[in-house]
């Protein structure tokens, strides 16, 4: 029998974008049965041989050729994952003249096969759909039904969700015509934009709530210091609910990152709320910022357009905290390997929480602290100065009084706080319209601070007194000015007033000599 050839279009993810992969299949006879996959396949792709051949056989097809060669082009980029199972099996069956080639050029095909021929979900459906929708030669995408709603978010494509190899064969042969999956993105976006936790659940802690409102309004990084049980984690979990609503573009970008990481539930399709990520303090630096032999997004990228919460901040390894500095400065993570270099977006607000001392009770009037001054100093010094330079707001969160816990009054709801935050952000959008990449007060550099943070003589005197009398460090000066501008935005003022500076000074607890 002469050799038979077929070509099936598939795709792979590189970073948070995707590219077309041509799956070329050649069937021929040989003295020894062989199944060869070339084109820099990684482990899961190499193992596809057993899944593919078992699925083809259990679907009821017999391949008479005993030599199968699969080429994944372009051959100079490493291919990984199990999404090539379905296109490889279709390529084999097409070369064996069991599947019609008429529709193959119109569709990108993706899917992981079970041994019985059923399909499992894949990673990266949305970034792939977004990347191929503008390709003039491609009409649609065929992929597991589990990922169909996610891919349909991209729009502009015919999305065919299938449950098995047999359904895919029937569709390509014209024997089965499923409806193309359609998603009303705006409607879905509104339905999913719901936060389960609300600021009204928090009893007391009005000072901490106000500080978090300021942090949300100016996209400032914040750290909370207080004894165990004071509500630091409870406040942090509700922080995303007062951030401005995600725009559709932000939601799509965030969803692409979560899709690459395989974190999109089949019934969701889109990330419509601000992400909240809270890794344990035993996390490695690669898991935090991303990495691995084949780089994956880390927690900082999964927090993109949302919140990264680091509880028990001094307990994190020093090298783990230090790798945060670059993404906090540039809002992007670059992972370099010998064979590739990838970038993942990482524009997040850092919320840290810590005890005031190793035992946790140095500021708690109801419990006695057992720590020595040296132990406290050593504990506080675990957070480096360069990292603290990137945190604008420090607040003390005292233990909640019993009288506040027992009150039946309900605090202000998150949606009313969010409205004030969004009005402040709108002022910042107008202010920075001539500065690409600058969207909030926290992003200002020194030159911009000098331009936009002008204060009068009374305010200057107040700030100078704070620096000298309260023992604030020199690095606190610019931080106080940025936070003062955000407080002015919240109040609707065009100028930074002395009361705005006075409030901002309160948000520099860790700069005081008490803590140093």
Which of 227, 214, 199 shows the shortest CA–CA distance to 353?
A: 227
Span 367-376, average pLDDT: 90
**β-bridge mates for residue 19, sequence order:** 12
DSSP H or E segment with residue 183? none
Q: Determine the average pLDDT of the residues in 391-401.
A: 89
**For residue 21, pLDDT beyond 60:** yes
pLDDT at 32 over 50: yes
pLDDT above 70 covers a percentage of the chain that reads: 96
Per DSSP, the chain holds a count of helices (H) and strands (E) of 22, 18
pLDDT in tens, 434-488: 999 899 999 998 899 999 999 999 999 999 888 888 777 667 888 999 999 999 9
pLDDT given for residue 2 in this prediction: 46
| 40 vs 167, residue with greater confidence | 167
Averaged pLDDT, 397-426: 84
Lowest mean pLDDT among 84-88, 140-144, 185-189, 460-464: 185-189
Q: If you search the block for the tokens 């193959």, which residue do you land on?
A: 104
Lowest pLDDT segment from 45-49, 284-288, 290-294: 290-294
pLDDT at 9: 97
**pLDDT(516) > 60:** no
Residue 469's pLDDT is: 81
- Written as six digits, the tokens of 423 are 């009005």
Beta bridge partners of 161: 143
Question: What's the confidence (pLDDT) of residue 1?
Answer: 42
In 3-state terms, what secondary structure has residue 264? coil
Give the full edge-to-edge strand order of the sheet including 349-354.
276-277, 307-310, 349-354, 222-225, 393-396
List the domain boundaries for the chain.
4-172, 191-422
CA–CA separation, 244 and 247 (whole Å): 9
pLDDT at residue 63, rounded to an integer? 87
Q: What is the pLDDT of residues 83-106, one digit of tens each?
A: 999 999 999 999 999 999 999 999
Given a contact cutoff of 8 angstroms between Cβ atoms, the answer to whether 49 and 8 are in contact is: no
Handedness of CA 427, 430, 434, 436 (dihedral sign): positive
Superfamily of domain 191-422: P-loop containing nucleotide triphosphate hydrolases (3.40.50.300)
| pLDDT single digits (tens) 265-286 | 766 778 999 999 999 999 999 9
Residue 276 near residue 302 (C-beta atoms within 8 A): no
Which are the contacts of 31, defined by CB distance < 8 A and separation ≥ 6? none
Residue 324 makes CB contacts below 8 A (sequence gap 6+) with: 288, 289, 300, 350, 387
Its pTM surpasses 0.75: yes
Please state the rounded mean pLDDT for residues 124-151.
93
Instruction: Give the integer Cα–Cα distance in Å for 270 and 263.
Output: 10
Most confident of 195-204, 290-299, 425-434: 425-434
Instruction: Report pLDDT digits (tens) over 52-72.
Output: 999 999 999 998 888 999 999
Burial of 201 per CB tally in 10 Å (0-12, 13-18, 19+) = middle
Whole-angstrom distance, CA of residue 156 vs CA of residue 85: 25
The answer, yes or no, to whether residue 513 has pLDDT greater than 60, is no
Q: Is the pLDDT of residue 335 over 90?
A: no
How far apart (Å, rounded) are the C-alpha atoms in residues 289 and 46? 28
Q: Give the model's confidence band at 233: pLDDT under 50 very low, under 70 low, under 90 confident, else very high.
A: very high
Specify the range with the lowest mean pLDDT, choosing from 231-235, 383-387, 491-495: 383-387
Identify the band that residue 251 occupies on the pLDDT scale cut at 50, 70 and 90: very high
- Angstrom distance (rounded) from CA 337 to CA 340: 5
Please state, in angstroms and rounded to a whole number, the distance separating the CA atoms of residues 309 and 324: 12
- How many CB atoms within 10 Å of residue 286? 15
- Residue 410: pLDDT above 80? no
Is residue 340 helix, strand or coil? coil
Give the separation between CA 75 and CA 38, rounded to whole angstroms. Answer: 8
CA–CA gap between residue 120 and residue 462 (Å, rounded): 63
Task: Report how far apart, in Å, the C-alpha atoms of 465 and of each of 153, 165, 471, 508 are.
Answer: 55, 74, 9, 14
Residue 251 and residue 274: Cα distance in Å, rounded? 8
Average the pLDDT over each of 42-46, 126-130, 199-203, 384-388 and give the range with the smallest value.
Answer: 384-388
Q: What is the pLDDT of residue 477?
A: 87
pLDDT of residue 64: 83
C-alpha angle with apex 409: 406 to 410, nearest 5 degrees?
115
Contacts of 130 (CB under 8 A, 6+ apart): 18, 154, 252, 256
Residue 297 contacts residue 285 (beta carbons within 8 Å)? no
How far is residue 323's CA from residue 318's CA, in Å, rounded to a whole number?
Answer: 9
pLDDT(338) > 70: no
Q: How far is CA 122 from CA 37, 45, 74, 265, 357, in A?
A: 20, 13, 21, 11, 46
- The pLDDT, as a whole number, for residue 326 is 87
The percentage of the chain sitting over the pLDDT mark of 90, rounded to a whole number, equals 64
Confidence of residue 337 (pLDDT cuts 50, 70, 90): confident
CATH code given to domain 4-172: 3.30.230.10
pLDDT for 474:
66
Tokens at residue 203, please? 């009893």
For 4, 221, 448, the CA distances from 151, given in Å and listed in that order, are 32, 34, 41
pLDDT score of 406: 62
- Given CA atoms 495, 497, 503, 504 in this order, what sign does their dihedral have? positive
- Give the number of residues written for the chain: 516
What's residue 411's pLDDT?
Answer: 81
Q: Let me know the angle formed at the C-alpha of 28 by 73 and 176, rounded to the nearest 5 degrees.
A: 70
Residue 64 · residue 96 · CB < 8 Å: yes
């Amino acid at each position: 029998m002469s050799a038979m050839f077929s070509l099936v279009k598939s795709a792979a993810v590189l970073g948070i974008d995707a590219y077309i992969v041509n799956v070329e299949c050649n069937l021929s006879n040989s003295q020894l049965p062989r199944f060869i996959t070339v084109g820099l396949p990684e482990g899961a792709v190499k193992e596809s041989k057993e899944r593919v051949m078992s699925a083809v056989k259990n679907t009821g097809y017999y391949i008479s050729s005993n030599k199968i060669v699969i080429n994944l082009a372009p051959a100079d980029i490493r291919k990984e994952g199990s999404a090539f199972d379905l296109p490889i099996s279709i390529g084999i069956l097409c070369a064996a003249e069991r599947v019609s080639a008429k529709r193959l050029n119109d569709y990108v095909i993706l899917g992981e096969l079970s041994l019985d021929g059923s399909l499992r979900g894949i990673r990266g459906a949305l970034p792939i759909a977004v990347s191929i929708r503008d390709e003039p030669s491609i009409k649609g995408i065929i992929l597991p039904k589990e990922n169909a709603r996610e891919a349909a978010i991209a729009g502009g494509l015919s999305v065919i969700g299938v449950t098995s190899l047999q359904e895919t064969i029937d569709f390509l042969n014209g024997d089965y015509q499923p409806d193309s999956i359609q998603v009303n993105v705006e409607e879905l976006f509104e339905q999913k934009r719901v936060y389960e936790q609300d600021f009204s659940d928090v009893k007391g802690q009005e000072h901490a709530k106000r500080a978090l409102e300021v942090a949300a309004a100016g996209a400032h990084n914040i750290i909370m210091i207080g004894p165990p049980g004071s509500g630091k984690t409870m406040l942090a979990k509700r922080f995303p609910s007062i951030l401005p609503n995600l725009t559709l573009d932000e939601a799509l970008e965030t969803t692409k990152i979560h899709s690459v990481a395989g974190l999109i539930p089949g019934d969701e399709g889109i990330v419509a709320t601000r992400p909240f990520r809270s890794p344990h303090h035993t996390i490695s630096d690669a898991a935090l910022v991303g990495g691995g032999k084949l780089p994956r997004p880390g927690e900082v990228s999964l927090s993109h357009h949302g919140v990264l919460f680091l509880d028990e901040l001094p307990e994190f390894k020093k090298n783990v905290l230090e790798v945060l500095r670059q993404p906090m400065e540039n809002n992007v993570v670059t992972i370099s390997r010998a064979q590739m270099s990838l970038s993942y977006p990482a524009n997040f607000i850092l919320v840290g929480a810590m005890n005031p001392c190793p035992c946790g009770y140095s500021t708690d009037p109801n419990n006695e602290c057992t720590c020595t001054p040296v132990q406290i100093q050593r504990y506080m010094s675990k957070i480096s100065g360069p990292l603290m330079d990137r945190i604008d707001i420090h607040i003390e969160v005292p233990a909640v009084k019993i009288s506040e816990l027992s009150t039946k009054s309900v605090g202000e709801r998150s949606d009313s706080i969010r409205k004030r935050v969004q009005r402040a952000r709108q002022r910042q959008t107008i202010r920075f319209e001539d500065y690409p990449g600058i969207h909030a007060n926290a992003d200002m550099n020194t030159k911009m601070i000098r331009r936009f943070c002008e204060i009068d003589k009374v305010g200057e005197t107040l700030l100078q007194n704070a620096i000298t009398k309260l023992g604030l460090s020199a690095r606190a000066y610019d931080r106080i000015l940025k936070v003062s501008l955000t407080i002015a935005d919240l109040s609707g003022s065009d100028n930074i007033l002395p009361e705005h500076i006075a409030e901002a000074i309160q948000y520099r607890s860790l700069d005081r000599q008490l803590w140093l």
